[in-house]
Amino acid sequence: MIDIGMPTLIETNTLDECARLCHVLGLQFVELNMNLPQYQISKIDISHFKDIAERYNIYYTIHFDENLNISDFNPYIAEAYRRTVRETIETAKQLGAPILNMHLSRGVYFTLPDKKVFLFNEYKEQYLKSIEAFRDECEKTIGESNIIICIENSDGYTGFQIDVLNLLLQSPVFGLTFDIGHDYVIGGTDEPLIMEYIDRLYHIHMHDALGKKNHLALGTGELDLQQYLTLANKHSCRIVLETKTVAGLMKSVEWIESNN
């Protein structure tokens, strides 16, 4: 059986509430979301977090802040984000968190009369050098631990982001997260790329979608959910039931129990 977890929800404001709900629903892990103030590195008391995990028989994965931009052209900003990654890796080692989930920033773009020009693409050589340095830094920091940094699809991979994936996936410490709802609402353009790297898929964010709406409870949208559940089982991926409400999460757990 694969492990299934839940995100940190606005309705479960404390870690204890979140972990208790995870346990009651029969789930295995909580994905700590570093966009929230209570899950910043400075707020994570290792002893407290481990005690709660032991009390409710769960573990953690970690979702980096979605603003994370480790290649910002301002070196002070880039270093702040890279330090965040390094310290999060060290925290993950202490918590026993096996997965760190990360979005790729598209960076700043200039809007011209006929198109958008992404600065990462315009200055791609400099950008990709920074990605290589980041990759090597992560390898060094992770060392002999089994932590995997999984890159999550979001609004459709651009050409320069595909180049980044090619670089990062040269390292065994990087893998992929497949967010099936994000992919659905952009017309399924990321799935073929993810399938090319199917052996590097470790993590799935699972939620339903309807038209342009995603993060819906499983079974309330248009997605062929069974094929992705089969995919997760085949490749031993963890699944996060990434709805945004307790009600949606409970409904999703019911769907999983009926279909897995």
Cβ–Cβ < 8 Å for 160, 118: yes
121 band by pLDDT with thresholds 50, 70 and 90? very high
Confidence (pTM): 0.96
Checking if the pLDDT of 139 tops 90, the result is yes
**The predicted structure's pLDDT at residue 228:** 97
> For 188-217, what is the mean pLDDT?
95
Average confidence (pLDDT) over 159-172 = 96
Q: Average pLDDT in the 191-214 region?
A: 95
What span, in angstroms and rounded, lies between the C-alpha atoms of 249 and 145? 31
Residue 260 banded pLDDT, cuts 50, 70, 90:
confident
On average, the pLDDT of the chain sits at 96
Q: Which tens digit of pLDDT belongs to each residue from 237-257?
A: 999 999 999 999 999 999 999
Residue 110 sits at φ, ψ, to 5 deg, of: -100, 135
Domains and CATH numbers, the chain: 4-259 (3.20.20.150)
pLDDT tens per residue across span 31-53: 999 999 999 999 999 999 999 99
Decide if pLDDT at 1 tops 90.
no
The pLDDT tens digits for 208-247 are 999 888 999 999 999 999 999 999 999 999 999 999 999 9
Contact indicator for 29, 5 with CB cutoff of 8 Å? yes
Kindly tell me if the per-residue pLDDT of 55 is higher than 90.
yes
